[in-house]
């Protein structure tokens, strides 16, 4: 069989509702690796909160973080780092929008470091994964680099209006996505950056043609990746838009949807 590149989203896809990889799914993924296929993680998460799953599966491939804004290898520095940050001035304009819409909090990430507008123990525990922020306070006074992403924690009643504003006035410089429950977070990266662009960097490095890519996802930040892959798979719990563009709809993340597909295809 032709060797495949298998791309796995984390939340709602590889991970069940307990944020764990089930034994059956782990066996299916690891069997694919043993048979010579390339398995990579493609997530909106930063490296610090995805590397544990990379280690658990025993992967040796590059990975996609921040929805394609950072593509790198966890262990091989010679592979290179492909970083696609937004301009610092763009981030400042987004921060002004956050003030306008009275967002509850903002995180600005620079690769595996981050800045926080307001101290929040829950956010630090959830987003930091053991890493403390580089700074807390007025982010324009703290930020010296071009940021990888901006995470907005809006007031729930303003989410739709805020996203419409971003689309109307900033679509030329940013992409924005909405996380699923329970974290109603708007994630922003540079325009033109998505999981598909990140996955293509990995595919090119491995010499894998597009038709030999299998990708799994569940949310709107997986849309371009599912469309790009030769065989795009939507989880049973995926949103309707993703299901409409997928080649196949499998079972849910809680019912080993990834394992069902890999066991059949490979």
- Active-site positions read 9
Q: What is the spatial distance between Cα 248 and Cα 116, in angstroms, rounded to a whole number?
A: 39
The token duo for 198 is 């990140």
Nearest to 203 by CA among 68, 108, 85, 101: 68
Helix axes 257-265 and 23-34, enclosed angle (nearest 10): 30
Contacts of 219 (CB under 8 A, 6+ apart): 9, 11, 12, 177, 179, 180, 238, 239, 242
Contacts of 122 (CB under 8 A, 6+ apart): none
Nearest to 258 by CA among 2, 52, 57, 46: 57
Q: What is the spatial distance between Cα 126 and Cα 189, in angstroms, rounded to a whole number?
A: 20
Backbone angles phi, psi at 176, to 5 degrees: -130, 140
């Amino acid at each position: 069989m032709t060797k495949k590149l298998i791309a796995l989203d984390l939340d709602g896809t590889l991970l069940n509702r307990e944020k764990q990889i089930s034994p059956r799914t782990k066996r299916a993924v690891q069997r694919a690796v043993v048979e010579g296929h390339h398995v990579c993680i493609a997530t909106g998460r930063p490296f610090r909160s995805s590397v544990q799953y990379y280690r658990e599966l025993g992967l040796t491939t590059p990975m996609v973080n921040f929805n394609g804004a950072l593509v790198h290898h966890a262990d091989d520095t010679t592979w290179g780092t492909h970083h696609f940050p937004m301009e610092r001035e763009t981030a400042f304009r987004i921060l002004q929008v956050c003030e306008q819409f009275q967002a509850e909090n903002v995180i600005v990430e620079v690769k595996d470091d981050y800045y926080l507008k307001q101290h929040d123990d829950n956010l630090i525990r959830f987003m930091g994964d053991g890493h403390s922020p580089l700074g807390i306070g007025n982010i324009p006074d703290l930020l010296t680099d071009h940021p990888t992403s901006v995470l907005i924690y809006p007031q729930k009643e303003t989410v739709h209006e805020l996203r419409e504003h971003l689309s109307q006035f900033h679509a030329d410089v940013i992409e924005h996505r909405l996380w699923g429950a329970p974290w109603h977070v708007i994630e922003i990266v540079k325009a033109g950056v998505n999981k598909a662009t990140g996955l293509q960097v990995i595919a090119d490095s491995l010499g894998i043609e597009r038709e030999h890519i299998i990708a799994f996802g569940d949310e709107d930040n997986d849309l371009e990746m599912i469309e790009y892959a030769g065989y795009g798979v939507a989880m049973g719990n995926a949103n309707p838009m993703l299901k409409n563009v997928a080649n196949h709809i499998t079972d849910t993340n809680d019912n080993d949807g990834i394992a069902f597909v890999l066991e059949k295809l490979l």
